[in-house]
Chain A
């Protein structure tokens, strides 16, 4: 089945410690960068012009993916009009290759807890979220990607599995999926399901991007901390995915204990290696 999205190769989550190197060296190891939208969105007392200027400079050399954390499509609150307007300004300015946010809620009653909170997989949530994604896509005038978040709890109210919910949501909202394979792995350990079952039930044509990241191992569960290299089990899942379904734009997310660029770059290069394994076999 033909995908709704083009494979744009390998990217990286761009963070301030690496701005200078990416700007100056324009590394060949990456074809695009992803940034957190909210870090560049203007707010009342601060137009964020410095950050935006940096981003526009990088945009000259690399396509940019905008990845948000506060859209809160899962909340019963109505969409924040002001947030959407500021996001649209940024989208118009940057002309990103992709725009994404998470399948989660971040707060209710106007409050923001700045966390990606899990939703119950119910028909009520499905209807509400698909409607909200539809509003966002109409407002932005483009299709967005929704990312599966790592979760630490499940609700008794859920009527279906996360992968069933996601599959229905993607079709109903006509949006894409940002598949975070580390998040699938973290949730699979925390809730005791088979990650390959999850991955094989997703609609391949709607997957526009893949995230790989590291997590922390706690006593009996995993936490999605993005402060370690990608673990071998996640690399294994990614390799399996790539062999089964073919290449999708893929990147590394790193937010804590950020290593020097050369170290992160070697992890990014591993994505290219894994992607080329399938090509070699086919060749």
Chain B
């Protein structure tokens, strides 16, 4: 007996017991009652990926059922792509019943924007864009001295949430990314100013998510909270999910800065002392071009990446995001202010 999921050869050996008869239940509990030591080998019924997938779909459906106007943060980055894929599975054969929201730093990789637009078109979704550039042009935001725009995303994000009256926003945050994120709830309340109060979070019990909020507050929902980077990549492989090409090894003109390889582009120009060379690289995150670094890698296929990630000794944020290096509490501070 087997379940036909995309993970085709999963055997459900436990179910082959005559689990339906009360006797079987009784026998099992008797066995358990007599011992106070491990009850023998566990028989895996679902793989960890299947369990994580089901948990995420449950969360996505809960939010859609309980909120008036959810939206999904979609950057074209792998975590948001996986989230959107999970949403398509959650409502199949129906359409994903909410729009996607992208905060455009104006420093995005053009191929990621292209990928975003193709995905939205393919799924028949509405795309809402919050633009950092517009806020800079209107003087509501000031360009930072270091040129990095990641921290500037918070204001356009909150503005888009308010203007569109989104009461729940799906984010692709994972608890394994960062120590502050490790304490994040799956449904996380944000006040009128979009702020996160890590010391005053609702306890989250069983699979009962409490998304109640008052007018002006909203909730961030993190369906893939419990996934690791490796889970995400294994899932991308298993489900055959398309990603922007940047995630795979390619030749690119780069220069070294802050211990990372930076791409040469409109917003990321080498200083005179920085030498430009061509390297075979890939990206582990695809954020703001001005602060996202590439890693040297020959991983050209999803299989190669899975192996590389499993073997890697550097976390993705540590390796490639300059903005998280500023201080040990960098992410906590940004999250408190309403960042993703």
Partners in one complex: no
Hey, which bits of chain A sit against chain B, CB under 8 A?
A: none
